[in-house]
Amino acid sequence: MPCYRNATIVTEFLRDALARGDVGVTKLEIMARTAGLLGQDQRITHSKLFKGAKKTLGIRSRRTGFGPRSQWLWRLPRQSETSIKTEEGQGPGAAPERRLPIPIEWVEGIASLKERQPPSDVPRHRWRQFVEDCRNFLSSPENRAGRAAQLGWDATSLFGCAPKRPLDYSGSAGLLWAVNGGRLVELHRDWAVIDAPVNRSQRVFYRRNVDAAKIRLPWTRSGGSQ
């Protein structure tokens, strides 16, 4: 069952990533690593799970450009019949376990955070923890990110922060800034429960009702800006 579940997750990941058009293999690898589906030095074209998902979805490869600037792209078939097929060896009657889709904006945005310098007013260790919490959120076995999207949480309510001194304005910060090394144990339409690492205490986080114009997403901030 674990292998089947992983295959289903990878299939859903590729379906969502390619839903809006062709995506370069290099970019797909970054997104897959961010989602915890690919090892740091692992290539997507060498992964049995990704090769199997590619075949299941009928994904095609095409090369674009010339010389050093060329790249391979993956694309879904135009007339896609991409319902997840029962894998061989699962046994008769096995039903696919569909994960809720995660907005690609979140995956791409969080993937870019690893290469960014923290804002000058956020300590480096605190920034690293925030990025790690975001990555864990995307790759959680409970599919927290997909569940959040289904419940209506948007990028601002999850990852947003004040443009300046975000740690000083925690009242307007998104859910993932509040996790701070803890673990999400409940997620509802307007609130969540965080299991804090200190004394294993729990706290309730209520979804912020803030002016979106006064909030920035961390991947739109210039690293080190004030």
What CATH code is carried by the domain that includes residue 11? 1.10.10.10
Q: What is the DSSP string of 131-156?
A: HHHHHHHHH-TT-HHHHHHHHT--HH
Burial classification of residue 17, based on how many CB atoms lie within 10 Å of its CB (0-12 exposed, 13-18 middle, 19 or more buried): buried
7 assigned to some structural domain: yes
Write the pLDDT tens digit of every residue in 44-81: 988 988 988 888 888 998 888 777 778 889 998 874 34
3-state SS, 69-82, equals HCEEEEECCCCCCC
Spatial distance between the Cα atoms of 57 and 45, rounded to a whole number of angstroms: 15
Q: CB-based contacts of 212: which residues, under 8 Å, 6+ apart? A: 156, 160
Q: Tokens representing 191?
A: 């609130």
* pLDDT surpasses 50 at 168: yes
Within this chain, do residues 151 and 199 fall inside the same structural domain, yes or no? yes
Within this chain, do residues 33 and 108 fall inside the same structural domain, yes or no? no
Spatial CA neighbour of 14 closest among 32, 30, 40: 32
* pLDDT surpasses 80 at 147: yes
Write the pLDDT tens digit of every residue in 179-198: 999 999 899 999 999 988 77
